[in-house]
Amino acid sequence: MARIITFSEAIKEAMQLAMRKDENVILMGEDVAGGAEVDHLQDDEAWGGVMGVTGGLVQEFGRDRVLDTPIAEAGYIGAAVTNAATGMRPVAELMFNDFIGSCLDEVMNQGAKLRYMFGGKAKVPLTIRTMHGAGFRAAAQHSQSLYGMFTAIPGIKVVVPSTPYDAKGLLLAAIEDDDPVVFFEDKTLYNVNGEVPEGYYTVPLGQGEIKRPGNELTIVGIGKQVQTALEAAEQLTAKGIDAEVVDPRSLSPLDESIILDSVMKTGRLVIVDEANPRCNVATDIAALVADKGFDYLDAPIKRVTAPHCPVPFSPALEDIYLPSAEKILKVVSEMIEDDTTVTM
Amino acid sequence: MKVSEETVQGITAEKASWMYQKMCEIRKFEDRVHELFGQGVLPGFVHLYAGEEAVAVGVCAHLDDNDSITSTHRGHGHCIAKGCELDGMMAELFGKATGLCNGKGGSMHIADVEKGMLGANGIVGGGFPLAAGAALTSKLKKTGAVAVCFFGDGAGNHGTFHEGINLAAIWNLPVVFVAENNGYAEATPFEYASSCTNIADRAKGYNIPGDIVDGKDATAVYAAAQKAVERARNGEGPSLIECKTYRNYGHFEGDAQKYKPDVEKKSHLEELDALRKFREYIASEGLLTDAELDDIEERVDHAVEVAVKFAEESPMPAEEDLTKDVYVSYETHDRGDV
């Protein structure tokens, strides 16, 4: 029987395997070990990151390779860029993706652009692991989903896993990759279980996956919203609609053909993205399909996203902020109400 | 450690009563929040200020509603010392419509602009330039108002520390930068993360005064803040005060705090306790009687319970509030299901 572990454990395992395989792989970030230089602290009592995702790594690899940093994102993310460019393969943890506000220059103007600006004579094998997502009552500055912003920047690759299996394989691929990769971890997925093989394997960047096959409707989900899409697909089955769920897994590079092929088959597209709706990944995918797949479409493309507002603290508001299966069903019913080929 | 030797001036019986009340409000509010969080009643992240009361109160004792403060993750104490109502604060922590921010901000973004409380902050180091900006307004409009930037030892290593303080110094802005050095940035000790021995040592680089005080001693904080606030009001520019203090709880609720030595925890919770110290000072100076101090504690106990009841009985925000107040003059459309 296949082994079941959590999303969080899958990420830790990927870190372990990468660090065992290549001594140039190091981890740095705020309290990624925790309690640096506290004499009485045993390393197994150390935090291992604010959510405990990297707990135990310091015991195996020591504090030279699991580096606690000051709360100074511009400093250590910037240092990670040239640490990568000069021969190491660092994984830098940006605790919450919202904190990119404190170090966007280092990512956008330095890390993303070195290779191009230097005429292809540099490479930046840096992975930035970062937490995103709403639903944790963490309010406006700790809950955003900013992968769209990074997808818009040439020179950076962007990965958003939705399952423990993908998280492990994609993180190993990200660390192996010679370009800077921002790896997004939805904080509400950390305790989700899934089948994960024990050994080293990679999931290639730029290769999406059909998470559920179907013939009448394509639902593309990003990260955790793949799960929402699967939930909606189940409910649609009961209504006699056969939905296919597509998980792009990486947003840059984007597996365009898996989306276009699916829409060619189904003729209908809903994109579920919990980021704010303007200039987000759902908009980008909608444009792609409008451009290259217009002839396949039997109905307008629909997007289910967060509204155009910050993430509210109050549980009553945050619950309605997020996409849901109900919201997906509502747009699907609008898409097919005039369509005589499908009854709902 | 160089400790400010300013004599304490102007702590009248009335001021002592106000200060003791505010310190009790902070302690009892935080202890109650700790309980409620443990019971699973409160959502989200909560960072408690208990233990550091002398800092917020010793500084805010010199401020009024026209003065501004910027705060940190650990913002409840600053709110209370700056005069925010407990009812609205507690309701905000519950995410209720009657909260100070209508439930939109929560613990990490609690604010009351009318009281000059410019917000707790989810971003470490966020407050330095924000305080400078409020002080610039004061300077340009000649209001005489002062801005105080409370920040933790973790933020002292953030890039905004340099930019904010340098800006305040070159523009001669009325800002007081108050370091709350509680020894730990999250789980990381100050000594590991900071190249300096004292945060106040860095003031020299900006040509501003840098004082170090015992942050568990409300009278010491009061005296240092008096000097710095007066200096700011007189147009003599910014100062930095480093308060050596301690947080009684973890970085956030749920933190097992194994990085703290037991002896250290115990001494801070007992003999070094800020409330105990200030109460002893009040008694030794004969400012208030034991009965008066007990009465303050009882009234605060009651006020905290009233606040909890108010929060529990308040309604949640309405659905239409979700997209309200994104802009002043532009109604955003709920595009979440378009």
Q: How far apart are CA B50 and CA B45, in angstroms?
A: 16
Please check whether residue B322 touches A, CB under 8 A.
yes
This complex has an ipTM of 0.92
- In A90-129, the residues whose Cβ lies within 8 Å of chain B are 98-99, 101-102
Secondary structure (H, E, C), chain A: CCCEEEHHHHHHHHHHHHHHHCCCEEEEECCCCCCCCCCCCCHHHCCCCCCCCCCCHHHHHCCCCEEECCCCHHHHHHHHHHHHHCCCEEEEEEEEHHHHHHCHHHHHHHHCCHHHHCCCCCCCCCEEEEEECCCCCCCCCCCCCCHHHHHCCCCCEEECCCCHHHHHHHHHHHHHCCCCEEEEEECCCCCCEEECCCCCCCCCCCCCEEEECCCCEEEEECCCHHHHHHHHHHHHHHCCCCEEEEECCEEECCCHHHHHHHHHHHCCEEEEECCCCCCCHHHHHHHHHHHHCHHHCCCCCEEEECCCCCCCCCHHHHHHHCCCHHHHHHHHHHHHCCCCCCCC
Q: Token pair for residue B251? A: 């970085």
pLDDT, tens digit (0-9, with 9 covering 90-100), for B223-257: 999 999 999 999 999 999 999 999 999 999 999 99
To the query of whether residue A142 is one of the catalytic residues in this protein, the response is: yes
pLDDT, tens digit (0-9, with 9 covering 90-100), for B131-144: 999 999 999 999 99
Please check whether residue A31 touches B, CB under 8 A.
yes
DSSP states of B174-216 as a string? -EEEEEEE-SEETTEEHHHH-SSS-GGGGGGGGTS-EEEEETT
Of A142, A317, A330, the CB nearest to B45: A142
Which band of pLDDT confidence, cut at 50, 70 and 90, is reported for residue A13? very high
pLDDT, tens digit (0-9, with 9 covering 90-100), for A270-281: 999 999 999 999
Q: Using CA atoms in the order B156, B157, B162, B164, what is the torsion angle rounded to 10 degrees?
A: -50
Say whether A34 and B159 touch across the interface (CB within 8 A). no
Asked if pLDDT for residue B222 goes beyond 80, the answer is yes
Q: Token pair for residue A159? A: 């990965």
A-B contacts (CB, under 8 Å): 179
pLDDT, tens digit (0-9, with 9 covering 90-100), for B162-217: 999 999 999 999 999 999 999 999 999 999 999 999 999 999 999 999 999 999 99
- Write the single-letter amino acid at A318: E
Distance of CA B176 to the CA centre of its chain: 13
Asked if pLDDT for residue B1 goes beyond 60, the answer is no
Positive/negative CA dihedral, A91, B197, B237, B176 = positive
pLDDT, tens digit (0-9, with 9 covering 90-100), for A149-193: 999 999 999 999 999 999 999 999 999 999 999 999 999 999 999
* Residue B58: closest CA among B212, B195, B250, B217: B217
B210-214 sheet: strands from edge to edge: B68-70, B147-152, B175-181, B239-244, B210-214
Please check whether residue A277 touches B, CB under 8 A.
yes
Please check whether residue B187 touches A, CB under 8 A.
yes
Which band of pLDDT confidence, cut at 50, 70 and 90, is reported for residue B49? very high
Please check whether residue A38 touches B, CB under 8 A.
yes
Cα distance from A20 to chain B (closest Cα, Å)? 26
Residue A46: list chain B partners with CB under 8 A: 187, 258-259
Cα distance from B141 to chain A (closest Cα, Å)? 30
Say whether A314 and B96 touch across the interface (CB within 8 A). yes
